[in-house]
Amino acid sequence: MTTYYTKSHEWIRVDGDQATVGITAHASEELGELVFVEAKDEGTEVAAGDAAAVVESVKAASDIYAPVAGTLAGFNDALSDDPTLVGKDPEGEGWIFRMTVANPDDLKGLLTAEQYKSL
Amino acid sequence: MSDSLQRTPLYDLNLELGAKMVPFAGFEMPIQFPAGLMAEHLHTREKAGLFDVSHMGQIRIAAKSGDVKDAAAALETLVPADYVGLAAGRQRYGLLTNDEGGILDDLMVANMGHDLLVVVNAGCKVQDADRIEKALSDRCVVTRQFDRGLMALQGPAAEAALAPLCPAVKDMRFMDVIETELAGVKVTVSRSGYTGEDGFEIGCAGADSEKVARAILGQPDVLPIGLGARDSLRLEAGLCLYGNDIDVTTTPVEASLGWAIQKARREGGSREGGYPGAEVVLKQTRDGVERKRVGLLAEGRAPVRAGAKLFADAEGQKEIGVVTSGAFGPSVKAPVAMGYVASDHAAVDTPVFAELRGRYVPLHVRAMPFVAPGFKR
Domain positions in chain B = 11-53+148-236, 55-145+251-289, 290-377
The pLDDT of residue B377: 85
User: Is the pLDDT at A59 greater than 90, yes or no?
Assistant: no
What are the beta bridge partners of residue A18?
Answer: A15, A100
Q: Which residues of B touch A55 (CB under 8 A)?
A: none
User: How far, CA to CA in Å, does B346 sit from each of B255, B321, B365, B367?
Assistant: 12, 10, 7, 10
Rounded to the nearest angstrom, the minimum Cα separation between B328 and chain A is: 5
Rounded to the nearest angstrom, the minimum Cα separation between A33 and chain B is: 7
The pLDDT of residue B51: 98
Yes or no, beta carbons of A35 and B301 under 8 Å apart:
yes
Which of B190, B152, B159, B151 lies closest to B47 in space, CA to CA? B159
Which of B332, B330, B252 lies closest to B296 in space, CA to CA? B332
Q: Is A57 on the interface with B (CB under 8 A)?
A: yes
Q: Domain B290-377 adopts which CATH fold?
A: Elongation Factor Tu (Ef-tu); domain 3 (2.40.30)
The pLDDT of residue B221: 97
ipTM of the complex: 0.84
What are the beta bridge partners of residue B51?
Answer: B152, B225
The pLDDT of residue B2: 57
The pLDDT of residue A60: 87
Q: What is the mean pLDDT of each run of 10 residues along chain B (377 residues)?
A: 85 98 96 95 98 98 98 98 98 98 98 98 98 98 98 98 97 98 97 98 98 98 98 98 98 98 98 98 98 96 96 98 97 96 98 96 97 92
Nearest residue, CB atoms, A58 vs list B301, B302, B327: B327
The pLDDT of residue A1: 86
Q: Which residue of A has its CA nearest to B358?
A: A40
Pairing relationship of beta strands B222-225 and B48-52 according to DSSP bridges: parallel
User: Which positions ≥6 away from B167 have C-beta within 8 Å?
Assistant: none
Q: How many domains does chain A have?
A: 1
Question: The domain that contains A31 carries what CATH number?
Answer: 2.40.50.100
Q: Which residues of B touch A61 (CB under 8 A)?
A: 303, 305
What is B11-53+148-236's CATH number?
A: 3.30.1360.120
The pLDDT of residue B160: 98
Architecture of the CATH domain B55-145+251-289 = 2-Layer Sandwich (3.30)
Which one of A31, A35, A80 makes the best mutation probe of the B interface by having the most chain B beta carbons within 10 Å? A35
Rounded to the nearest angstrom, the minimum Cα separation between A45 and chain B is: 17
Residues present in chain A in total: 119
Rounded to the nearest angstrom, the minimum Cα separation between B39 and chain A is: 9
d(Cα A75, Cα A64) in Å, to the nearest integer? Answer: 13
Residues of the domain holding A68: 2-117
d(Cα B115, Cα B133) in Å, to the nearest integer? Answer: 15
Nearest residue, CB atoms, A35 vs list B36, B303, B305: B303
Average pLDDT, chain A: 96
Do residues B281 and B295 make contact, with C-beta atoms less than 8 angstroms apart? no
The pLDDT of residue A88: 96
